Amino acid sequence: MNPILNRQRTTLVVVDVQEAFRNVIDGFAATVDRCAVLVQGARILDLPILVTEQYPQGLGATVDEISIHLEAIPRLEKTAFSAVGAPGFDLAGRDQVLICGIETHICVSQTVHELLSNDVEVHVASDAVASRTPADRQVGLDRMRRSGAVLSSSEMALFELLERAGTDEFKAIQRLVI
């Protein structure tokens, strides 16, 4: 497992950041903000992005704060908790995933564990995942880390993917995180 993300190997996976969670998730606004930053950063860095929606007929669509940055990126509908089984879920030959989304201890965790069992290196943007309770979020993070996922932050991950300063991409990413 490489503790550093590599942009030629990484896909961003955004799990179930949907409207129905807005009023029940602890830290929802901050999580959405960090997920939106990751999506924008992935677009700047030309990373593949996979976005899932858990039963959108009941839980609604991906929130507007993120959707506005997803032009031409399809949403993968699912009913299984792990995103890996969603129709269209394909890492396109990449073997690292940077993951964010909701809920840390359910859909994010089950996705992370399935990816790990498929020999994919997984980095969890810990400031871009949330659950209904802080305790559930923490249990999810602890379990994923013990299972082999690398805990990171959105800013740490984006700067790892950048690798160096002094580029137009660096300037664009810097504007996102400051």
Q: Domain limits of the chain?
A: 10-177
Instruction: Give the DSSP H/E element, type plus range, for residue 157.
Output: helix 154-162
Catalytic residue among 16, 35, 100, 127: 16
Give, for all 178 residues of the chain, the pLDDT tens digit.
678 999 999 999 999 999 999 999 999 999 999 999 999 999 999 999 999 999 999 999 999 999 999 999 999 999 999 999 999 999 989 999 999 999 999 999 999 999 999 999 999 999 999 999 999 999 999 999 999 999 999 999 999 999 999 999 999 999 999 8
Task: Give the rounded percent of residues in the chain with a pLDDT score beyond 90.
Answer: 97
Asked whether the beta carbons of 122 and 99 are under 8 A apart, the reply is yes
78 is known as an active-site residue: yes
Whole-angstrom distance, CA of residue 46 vs CA of residue 44: 6
Model confidence pTM above 0.75:
yes
Instruction: Classify domain 10-177 by CATH architecture.
Output: 3-Layer(aba) Sandwich (3.40)
Sign of CA dihedral 18, 63, 26, 124: positive
Q: Cβ–Cβ contacts within 10 Å for residue 23, how many?
A: 7
171 is known as an active-site residue: no
Whole-angstrom distance, CA of residue 99 vs CA of residue 140: 13
Catalytic residue among 33, 35, 64, 78: 78
For the CA atoms of the chain, what is the radius of gyration? 15
